Amino acid sequence: MKTSGSIELLATALSAAQGEFPKIEKNRTNSFFKSSYADLEIIIATCKPVLGKYGLAVIQPISFHSDGFLVITTVILHKSGQWLSEELWLRPKSQDVQEIGKVITYGRRYAYQSMVGVVAEDDDDGNSASVANAPVRTANPAPVQKPEGKMF
């Protein structure tokens, strides 16, 4: 995880927001595993007002790596200028635009939930992660060239 350095104000605000997040409605069903989950739209719509109340925002820029990985960087920003971020590396099964779109939506949903601290799907005891074609991160992908200096 990367941070702006001190994240004291951000951590305090995120902690307060987590105490106020309402239960997220599970509005979708995974047809393969028959489990229910909340889609990205409802997760963001549920969390955004509470995050905003505490001066927090979430952005998720996407970049593509030369070896076929796409990288979703989830950043939590605080009105003080403090931030924290984490990358999720995923490899789509193909370069088809619809496949890439599915992987981006799936990755954004899980990364967003993880970063803000909400749960919006049934616990399937890891069964869905065992699917042979699930996108995964390799142990040591080649590093992405990033400019030096502060992120923001």
Burial (Cβ within 10 Å: 0-12, 13-18, ≥19) of residue 40: buried
Per-residue pLDDT of the chain (152 residues; tens, 9 = 90+): 999 999 999 999 999 999 999 988 887 777 776 678 888 999 999 999 999 999 999 999 999 988 889 999 999 999 999 999 999 999 999 989 999 999 999 999 999 999 999 987 555 445 555 544 454 544 444 444 444 444 43
Domain ranges of the chain: 2-120
Q: How far apart are CA 107 and CA 95, in angstroms?
A: 16
Non-local CB neighbours of 25 within 8 Å, separated by 6+ positions: 38, 42, 46
> Parallel, antiparallel, or unpaired: how do β-strands 70-78 and 83-90 relate?
antiparallel
pTM, to two decimals: 0.76
> Parallel, antiparallel, or unpaired: how do β-strands 83-90 and 56-59 relate?
unpaired
Per CATH, is 2-120 categorized as 3.30.390?
A: yes
